[in-house]
């Protein structure tokens, strides 16, 4: 237990403070209490003696030092006895009133306004720089991919297959679920409306067109964006943090060739296949539901499909898959490359990868819709 | 104060990873107020030993006592209260990458000390001074620091709560020789002034010679413990090879010491 013995020397009007026990950080409140009780009226000198302290840690010494300094400013001569002298060296090197010289500056009207404007400007230039970096990343990646396709020796075939496995094969269960659920929604919702109108058979057209042209590929892409874009960003981000990317560069290897290109090619393979799977499953599910609940036999369903739905309906959907795949892979890998070494930035860029991927996929889908309309596809 | 009973006592410790046995019934006593150096080849299990003591890794079997309490049996809350008085410097620093240097050092104080925010900040600067860093470093982030600076900041964080027991995993590796010597002096000063017990894994011969009271060598999955001269007399081939080069140097030290300008440290170098 820490304690303080105060001894008053009449002749010299001085005090000797003797520290006893353990003086340590966890007792800070008691340190303050003990020292503020020291009577300093009519005292000309104070000596603080640590000879009898069984422990005196830096924090405790600092708190005592600060009290002593206050007394010194009040005109009392101070002296330390048996304090570890190394401590004082550390105390004296403190940055001069770093903590004191930060009062809030009187705020004029101008300053907040100026700050807002410069913040806006910063935001703008920052997003422009980002955009530029993303575009040049995209271009460079395309050129490396192109070079890889021209010289297949440079392609990392095992790596591509690995990523086809993780982004494609492992996504199958969730895609199956997704396709069936969306098919249930459309078939029941559309079917019941059309049944009221006595046009149940049109359910086939409704389901086929909406799934094949639009929903099959779009929902698959969104699901893959959620799964793989974030995974790409996190994988590459961690490698960046660990300086693995630097190590690759120093070893004379091109990180884009090793990390980015296989992921893009893998998604280019996986996403169309997943879309195909989703299309087939959704239609099969629709056929089943039609038989059960809408009195459309499977034969009728298939015949209607063959008569009314052209191949280009299917093509209109599946053509979009490679574009979406590229977008997802690029946003994921690019965001991974932007990670700067902190856990926080890893989280930020992983989130950004997903958000950007989904946003650009939807945006591209809108562009495709307008394009198809204008060429009458 | 218990002077005779060991502060930490490890009994019959076994650590295994799959079929790989890292420690085979290892015994080790760490005494109050000593600086214990732990040496051993790379991969001999020094870090695993520290992790076992720190409760980061559950041993396969064995017992670890701290002040007579079995750390493997006490409650988690009690163990974490004990650990407030321990400081740890991890081999790779383990700074929190999303916090600035200042926040890294202040984090333990914010959580566990009764100091006011101003005092925490002042003490943060003092700790930075102690480990030999400029105060400007306080605002930087770990990803902006050099390897040696990361070590120092990590040490400053380990010292944040003024611990009584300090674990250091290769503290001077990655530091230049002058900084390493300063670091040794710092440890000695903390040790004498704070009644600090230090357990350090090190390959630095200077540290071993100048500041370690005892040395524990991890060979053949077990410990050989003693003062440095005792260890150097041990006939084990690995120990002989490890200290072999230095013995010659150590013998030649008295010649150097006759020259007045030479510091008292032997200048043994490790050549890994
Ligand atoms: N989490 C782990 N899983 C499997 N093996 C491990 C693990 N941690 C350490 N090891 C193995 O234990 C041995 C000792 O490791 P370590 O204590 O880190 O060595 P060092 O003495 O160099 O610090 C090494 O062979 C290492 O591969
Ligand atoms: Mg290690």
Q: Say which range, A328-342, B51-65, B231-245, B249-263, has the weakest mean pLDDT.
A: B249-263
Contact between B115 and A59 using a beta-carbon 8 Å cutoff = yes
Whether residue B264 has pLDDT greater than 50? no
pTM: 0.73
Q: Supply B104's token pair.
A: 């890294």
Q: What is the CA radius of gyration of chain B?
A: 19
As for the ipTM of the complex, it is 0.75
Is the CB of residue A24 less than 8 Å away from at least one CB of chain B? yes
Q: For residue B171, tell me if it sits in a domain.
A: yes
Which among B30, B27, B3, B32 is positioned nearest to B13, based on CA atoms? B27
Q: Closest CB to A24: pick one of B98, B159, B162.
A: B162
Q: For residue B263, tell me if it sits in a domain.
A: no
Q: Kindly identify which residue of chain B lies nearest to residue A348, measuring between CA atoms.
A: B98
Is the CB of residue B101 less than 8 Å away from at least one CB of chain A? no
Q: For residue B270, tell me if it sits in a domain.
A: no
Q: For residue B65, tell me if it sits in a domain.
A: no
Whether residue A253 has pLDDT greater than 90? no
Condensed to tens digits (0 to 9), the pLDDT of residues A344-372 reads 899 999 999 999 999 999 999 999 999 99
Q: Residue B216's domain is classified under what CATH number?
A: 3.40.50.300
Q: Closest CB to A28: pick one of B114, B141, B193.
A: B114
- Give me the helices (H) in chain B, please: 46-53, 76-83, 101-112, 117-130, 147-158, 177-194, 205-210, 228-233, 237-257
**Whether the Cβ atoms of residue B87 and residue B123 lie closer than 8 Å to each other:** no
Is the CB of residue B118 less than 8 Å away from at least one CB of chain A? yes
Q: Which atom of ligand 1 is least distant from the CA of B201?
A: 23
Is the CB of residue B162 less than 8 Å away from at least one CB of chain A? yes
- The parent domain of residue B207 ranges over 33-58+80-249
Is the CB of residue B127 less than 8 Å away from at least one CB of chain A? yes
**Whether the Cβ atoms of residue A187 and residue A290 lie closer than 8 Å to each other:** yes
DSSP string, A171-189: GHHHHHHHHHHHHHHHHHH
Number of domains observed in the structure of chain B: 1
CA angle, B88 as apex, B82 and B93 as ends, to 5°?
150
CA of B69 to the centre of ligand 1 (A): 27
Pairing of strands B214-219, B222-226: antiparallel
Ligand 1: residues whose CB is within 6 Å?
A: B 17, 22, 40, 42-48
Q: For residue B68, tell me if it sits in a domain.
A: no
Q: For residue B257, tell me if it sits in a domain.
A: no
Condensed to tens digits (0 to 9), the pLDDT of residues B56-114 reads 888 999 999 998 889 889 888 888 888 888 988 988 888 888 889 999 999 888 888 88
Number of residues that this document lists for chain B: 272
Q: For residue B203, tell me if it sits in a domain.
A: yes
Q: Which domains does chain A have, with CATH numbers?
A: 3-106 (3.30.750.24), 155-375 (no CATH)
Cα of B157 to nearest chain A Cα, Å: 14
Q: Closest CB to A28: pick one of B98, B113, B194.
A: B113
Q: For residue B66, tell me if it sits in a domain.
A: no
Condensed to tens digits (0 to 9), the pLDDT of residues B18-70 reads 889 999 999 999 998 899 999 988 889 998 999 899 888 889 999 999 988 89
Contact between A86 and B189 using a beta-carbon 8 Å cutoff = yes
Q: Kindly identify which residue of chain B lies nearest to residue A88, measuring between CA atoms.
A: B126
pLDDT at res. B257: 40
């Amino acid at each position: 237990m820490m304690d303080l013995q105060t001894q008053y020397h009449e002749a010299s009007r001085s005090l000797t403070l003797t520290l006893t026990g353990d003086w340590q950080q966890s007792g800070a409140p008691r340190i303050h209490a003990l020292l503020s009780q020291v009577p300093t009226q009519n005292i000309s000198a104070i000596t603080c003696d640590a000879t009898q302290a069984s422990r005196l840690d830096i924090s405790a010494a600092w708190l005592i030092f600060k009290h002593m300094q206050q007394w010194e400013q009040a005109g009392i001569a101070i002296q330390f006895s048996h304090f570890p002298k190394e401590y004082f060296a550390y105390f004296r090197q403190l940055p001069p009133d770093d903590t004191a010289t930060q009062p809030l500056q009187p705020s004029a009207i101008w300053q907040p306004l100026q700050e807002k404007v410069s913040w806006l400007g910063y935001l703008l230039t920052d997003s422009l720089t980002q955009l530029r970096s993303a575009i040049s990343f995209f271009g460079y990646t395309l050129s490396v991919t192109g070079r890889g396709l021209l010289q297949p020796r440079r392609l990392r075939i095992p790596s591509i297959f690995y990523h086809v496995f993780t982004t494609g094969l492992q996504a199958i269960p969730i895609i199956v679920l997704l396709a069936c659920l969306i098919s249930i929604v459309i078939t029941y919702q559309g079917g019941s409306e059309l049944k009221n109108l006595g046009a149940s058979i049109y359910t086939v057209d409704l389901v086929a067109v909406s799934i094949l042209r639009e929903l099959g590929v779009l929902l698959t892409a969104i699901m893959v964006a959620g799964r793989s874009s974030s995974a790409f960003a996190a994988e590459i981000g961690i490698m960046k943090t660990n300086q693995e990317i630097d190590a690759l560069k120093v070893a004379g290897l091109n990180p884009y060739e090793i990390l980015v290109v296989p992921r893009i090619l893998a998604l280019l393979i996986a996403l169309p296949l997943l879309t195909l799977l989703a299309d087939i499953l959704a239609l099969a599910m629709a056929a089943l539901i039609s038989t059960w609940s809408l009195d459309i036999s499977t034969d009728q369903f298939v015949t209607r499909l063959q008569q009314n739905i052209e191949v280009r309906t299917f093509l209109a959907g599946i053509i979009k898959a490679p574009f979406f795949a590229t977008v997802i892979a690029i946003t994921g890998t690019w965001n991974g490359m932007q990670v700067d070494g902190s856990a926080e930035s890893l989280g930020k860029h992983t989130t950004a990868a997903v958000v950007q991927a989904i946003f650009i996929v939807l945006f591209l889908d809108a562009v495709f819709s307008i394009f198809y309309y204008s060429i009458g596809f | 104060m218990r002077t005779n009973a060991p502060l930490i006592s490890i009994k019959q410790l076994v650590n295994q990873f799959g079929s790989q046995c890292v420690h085979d019934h290892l015994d080790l006593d760490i005494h109050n107020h000593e600086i214990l150096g732990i040496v051993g080849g790379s991969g001999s299990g020094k870090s695993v030993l520290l992790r076992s003591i720190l409760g980061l890794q559950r041993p396969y079997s064995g017992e670890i006592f701290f002040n007579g309490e079995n750390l493997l049996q006490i409650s988690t809350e009690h163990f974490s209260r004990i650990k407030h008085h321990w400081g740890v410097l991890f081999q790779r620093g383990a700074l929190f990458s999303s916090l600035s240097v200042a926040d890294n050092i202040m984090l333990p104080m914010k959580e566990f000390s009764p100091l006011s925010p101003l005092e925490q900040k002042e003490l943060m600067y003092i700790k930075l001074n102690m480990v030999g860093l400029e105060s400007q470093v306080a605002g930087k982030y770990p990803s902006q620091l050099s390897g040696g600076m990361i070590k120092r900041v990590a040490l400053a964080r380990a010292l944040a709560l003024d611990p009584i027991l300090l674990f250091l995993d290769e503290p001077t590796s990655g530091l230049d020789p002058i900084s390493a010597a300063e670091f040794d002096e710092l440890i000695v000063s903390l040790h004498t002034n704070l009644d600090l017990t230090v357990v350090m894994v090190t390959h630095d011969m200077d540290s071993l010679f100048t500041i370690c009271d005892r040395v524990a060598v991890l060979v053949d999955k077990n410990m050989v413990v003693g003062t440095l001269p005792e260890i150097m007399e041990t006939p084990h081939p690995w120990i002989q090879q490890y200290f072999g080069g230095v013995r010659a140097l150590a013998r030649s030290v008295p010649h150097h010491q006759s020259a007045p300008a030479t510091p008292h440290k032997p200048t043994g170098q490790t050549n890994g």
